[in-house]
Structure 1
Amino acid sequence: MDVNYINPIISSFASVMPQLGLPAVEKKGISLKGRFIESPGVVIIVGIIGDIKGNVIYGLSLEAAKTIASTMMMGMPVENFDELAQSAISELTNMITATVATNFSKEDININISTPTLVHGSFTANASSDKVVCVQMGVGDMNIDVNISMEKNTI
């Protein structure tokens, strides 16, 4: 995977989160993972196709997902990770990944994104390639793993 694919994702994350009332966004670390991504509670998968193909797999704890959903819904309490809270988190990842597409277009790289797929519970997700770069982002006292599995499309 080209490391130049990482910065547009980090910058979109740092740009979108504060707009939704989620301050103190910071990159906490970068690591390499294999194809299999263990769920920390909630996983959202967004497919990438175009000049680049692959996926971005966002992972966060159930408590972090409920806190972020509550913030996005103007402080409405989220006691259960119900359909409304799931929709808010899916829309967040949609906004972040759409901004990634815009950032790539500034580099003359054209991509389209899929509708986010949200799954929660205990399971293992399967990335689109064997090498995954995980960027751990901090949002206040919460962590979100941004697992990036992308490569140049040769078709």
Structure 2
Amino acid sequence: MDVKYINPFMQSFINVMPQIGFTNVKKEGISMKDKNIESKGIAINVGIVGDIRGNIVYVMDEESGKKIASKMMMGFPVEELNEMAQSAISELTNMLTANASTNFFNEGININISTPTLIYGEEIQIKMNSNQVLCIQLSADDIPIEIDIAFDNISL
């Protein structure tokens, strides 16, 4: 996949996470997957329409989600993935994808994003809209987060 479709998401993560209070933000790796994504506990789906179309799915385990929600709520302890914690995580993915949208715009690519849809459970399987999915593994203060990218009509 052309880096112009990858960099907006990595740049967004690197720019947004420190604004929330994370200090050690880094890219861990990039890999390819088929269209079937298995969730490690939490999956947040964001649709993309415009010059490019597809889906972005943010994947993390439940403990990582609790830590991120706690940071988003100014350090308030998060013992369970309740409605407030889910809202915090969803808002983070909204912020990340909106920032990526701005990065795309700066490259001459116009996109709009949908409202994030959070799904969580033991064994969630999501079928992406493309046969090939690019997976970016990132971390913030050693909390792993995966971004799965599937765009229509763009070969990877």
Instruction: Calculate the TM-score normalised by the size of structure 2.
Output: 0.95
In the alignment, the residues of structure 2 paired with residue 19 and residue 152 of structure 1 have an alpha-carbon distance, to the nearest angstrom, of 34
- Residue 88 of structure 1 aligns with which residue? 88
- Residue 67 of structure 1 aligns with which residue? 67
1:135 Cα deviation (Å)?
0.4
2:25 paired with 1:21 = no
Say which SS state the counterpart of residue 128 (structure 1) adopts. strand
In the alignment, the residues of structure 2 paired with residue 51 and residue 26 of structure 1 have an alpha-carbon distance, to the nearest angstrom, of 28
Deviates more, 1:143-152 or 1:112-121: 143-152
Identity %: 54
1:100-132 deviation digits (Å, cap 9, x = unpaired): 110000011000000000000121011111110
One-letter amino acid of the counterpart of residue 22, structure 2: L
Instruction: Calculate the TM-score normalised by the size of structure 1.
Output: 0.95
Q: Give the gaps of 5 or more residues in structure 1.
A: none
RMSD: 1.2
In the alignment, the residues of structure 1 paired with residue 18 and residue 151 of structure 2 have an alpha-carbon distance, to the nearest angstrom, of 26
In the alignment, the residues of structure 2 paired with residue 65 and residue 32 of structure 1 have an alpha-carbon distance, to the nearest angstrom, of 23
Q: Give the gaps of 5 or more residues in structure 2.
A: none
Instruction: Check whether the contact 1:2–1:151 (CA below 8 A) recurs between aligned residues.
Output: no
